[in-house]
Copies of this chain bind each other. A is one copy, B any other.
Amino acid sequence: MRSGSSFLLAARQCEIAELEQLGRTGELVGAIGRFIHALQRERGISNIYLVSQGRRFATQRVTQVDECAVVEQEARGRFDELDTEATRVRNGSRLFSRIAFVLHGLDGLPALRERVATRELSPADASAAYTRLVNGLLAVVFEAADAATDPEISRALVALFNFMQGKEFAGQERAFGARAFAGGGIDAAGQQQWQHLIESQQACLQVFAAFSEAAVLQAEQAGRDVLALAEVERMRRVGCTGHILDPELSHAWYEWATRRIDAMRAMEDVLAGHLQRLCASRIERARDELRDQRALLAELSQQAASAAAPAPYGPHLERSILELVQEQSQRLQAMGDELDAVRASLNERKAVERAKGLLMAHRAMSEDEAYKTLRQMAMNQNRRLVDVAQAVLSLADVLPGVR
């Protein structure tokens, strides 16, 4: 029969194993961040290439495709390293499903590039195809954040995920702005869409700020490309206030937006590094505690043996073990509570995903259409996307044909 002490130690070992897995998740997320960045650049370059009817960025596009292939191999390598042997990975079924979706999309990447090269696709369609890939990769990061069992690390992952998502909205804005400037004009609906991309970035960066430590926030502020930010803001004002745009500005817009995004990419590495150090220090601490606990339990059982008390332990020893057990239970409970609070922030995104799914099922929409519908509703009603999503979900019961 195993003793309470052995389960106490097993609980601690479980925690360490979970932390180690989170450390590996951190590496995976880093590789995904680099791959997403390359895809975002390729999307932007392809966009200008298509808008200019192949006159501009032809060589840059080829170079970027090669660079992208390198980080794609790195990300695929990280996927391969995942231990898919059953139940070892927390949240495995969802994580692996997301990866399957990404890998399926990547199988279509050569064909997508071919159609960009031969200019068979419209700029908007090409952008949308790259955006689907990026969203698939972000969903993998999301599942990783959702699976974290340590509140401090969960917090860092939520911050990183929102930063990555904010950067992706910045990338979409770059492509959108480049098309708008190159086209020489923008209508009211286009301006509204641009505004929405700006607000989406801000919302993500607010969550990022709310979940980041002071040191991380300071590093983020210090790492901003302030000049690029100012230029981006100036050109946003131009794009969102007038209806006729100077096509010559398209290139400058792309360059400034790229400088800003590249600074965000550098920041992602800082955040990923912070996450790694956090995991490493938590693992070290947990190992120290395990060692101390093991030593203390050994000492207690030795004392018990020599005291030969009538109860399995004397009252003093009994108290000590009980304190150990209670301390651990309370610590785990506090961690669980904190974790629930952190995870609540992920629920907003889940609500949007569910509302999208509902529209897809009920109105036979594609994922893009469903998202655009929600966004349009949010813009028309001047409400946040998540509030509109919640409203749609609350209608689920009265919509016919929806479970």
The answer to the question of A310 belonging to the interface, with a C-beta cut-off of 8 Å to chain B, is: yes
For residues 169 through 227 of chain A, which have their beta carbon under 8 Å from a beta carbon of chain B?
none
11 example contacts (A-B, Cβ-Cβ < 8 A) are as follows A2-B76, A3-B103, A4-B100, A18-B92, A87-B87, A101-B325, A101-B326, A107-B311, A107-B318, A333-B357, A337-B354
Say whether A11 contacts B93, CB under 8 Å: yes
What 10 A-B pairs have minimum CB-CB distances, sorted nearest first? A17-B86, A4-B103, A14-B92, A11-B96, A10-B84, A7-B100, A4-B104, A8-B100, A17-B87, A14-B93
Is A1's CB within 8 Å of the partner chain B?
yes
Residues in chain B near residue A325, CB distance under 8 A: 97, 100-101, 104
How many identical subunits does the complex contain? 2
Residue from B5, B108, B334 in contact with A318 in the complex, judged by beta carbons closer than 8 Å:
B108
Asked whether any CB of chain B lies closer than 8 Å to the CB of A397, the reply is no
Complex alpha-carbon distance, A84 and B76, angstroms: 32
B16 touches A107 (CB 8 A): no
Residues of B within 8 A of A337 (CB): 350, 354
- CB pair B107–A4 under 8 Å, yes or no, is yes
Report B-chain residues with C-beta under 8 Å of the C-beta of A269: none
Most buried by B among A100, A312, A332: A100
Q: With A1-B80, A94-B336, A357-B330 as given contacts, are A87 and B18 in contact (CB-CB < 8 Å)?
A: yes
Do B88 and A87 touch (CB < 8 A)? yes
A87 touches B84 (CB 8 A): no
Q: What 1/0 mask marks residues of chain A from 326 to 345 whose CB sits below 8 Å from any chain B CB?
A: 10111011101100100000
